[in-house]
Amino acid sequence: MAEVYTGRFAPSPTGLLHPGSLVAALASWLDAQSHGGQWRVRIEDVDTPRCVPQADQAILQQLAACGLTPDGPVLWQSQRGDAYAAALQSLVNQGWAYPCGCSRKEIESAQAVARHSAAIYPGTCREGLQGKPARAWRLNVQAVQTALGLPDVTHWHDRRLGAQQQNVGQDVGDFVLRRADGLWAYQLAVVVDDAAQGVTHVVRGQDLADNTARQILLQHALGLPTLQYLHTPLVLGADGEKLSKQNGALALDLSDPFWALGQAAQVLGLPAQTSLTNFLTQAQASWTRLFISHTS
């Protein structure tokens, strides 16, 4: 049986949607409609200290105001602890996840002598905690790759950006699955939930593209299917940086959804539409021409 296209939009309720997040919402919705598929919404509220009370409901209202209604029930990651614990346990059972006792300071000082400036975990606790108390849990990248016969470099295809690759072991290191504060890490939660929601296609902002190789590795490690990916262009602020809540991105003004959707469509390279009534139908036709006719 042919697989049923299932896409998703997975906002973190750290505030209202901003113009950048509407681009990802609109693109993932258009891709699902254009494939005659399902569009799911998942509230990524695992990082509880960063979540803003009621932001989840406000986001769902914002989506509804734009005519973007989810198929099927909305999933809240805060209710998924058991599923993440089971996934971590299965990795531990295979010998592919280990406890780490390093503090942030220790990791940073190990890096000061390393060549790379990005946060690469040097694998300090891979062979044991050496008396330190366990803080976080990490994936043993090399162990997974060796056991499953995977190459050091993970190759993947982005439907907009083309061929991509990353050597996760070298460029990221053994990444965190469960944080020192006990919260579940984004990488584990997203992979477990994409599978649980039957997601086949991920369409999200380009700022998340460099998580993809880690997520593909985790999919392999957990015996889950690898997904199709498309990363959308970012909305840049006046400073040329990605528009985000951190650099003061304003929440979307949805008193005029047509205007907000028009701005998002422009970022996606979709032609201007004449009215809200036809907006989504026309945008869908343009999306199909741009991203589906000659890609999968």
> Which chain residues interact with ligand GLU by CB under 6 A?
10-12, 44, 190, 204, 208
Reading the block at residue 108, the tokens are 């940073």
User: What are the backbone dihedrals phi and psi of residue 230, each rounded to the nearest 5 degrees, phi first?
Assistant: -140, 125
Question: Among residues 104, 135, 107, which one has the least CA distance to residue 121?
Answer: 107
Which CB sits closer to ligand GLU, 12 or 38? Answer: 12
Which CB sits closer to ligand GLU, 215 or 273? Answer: 215
The 3-state DSSP composition of the chain as helix, strand, coil percent (nearest 5) reads 40, 15, 40
Torsion on CA atoms 161, 167, 169, 172, rounded to nearest 10: -40
Reading the block at residue 144, the tokens are 């997974």
| Closest CB 293 distance from ligand GLU, rounded Å | 25
Indicate the helix (H) or strand (E) that contains 230: strand 228-232
| Closest CB 31 distance from ligand GLU, rounded Å | 13
Which CB sits closer to ligand GLU, 98 or 184? Answer: 184
| Closest CB 177 distance from ligand GLU, rounded Å | 16
227, 200 contact by CB (below 8 A): yes
| Closest CB 24 distance from ligand GLU, rounded Å | 7
CA distance 85 to 221: 15
| Closest CB 210 distance from ligand GLU, rounded Å | 12
Which CB sits closer to ligand GLU, 7 or 123? Answer: 7
Which CB sits closer to ligand GLU, 11 or 169? Answer: 11
- Give me the residue label for tokens 């990916």: 229
Which CB sits closer to ligand GLU, 161 or 285? Answer: 161
| Closest CB 10 distance from ligand GLU, rounded Å | 4
- Nearest-5° Cα angle at 70, 64 to 74: 105
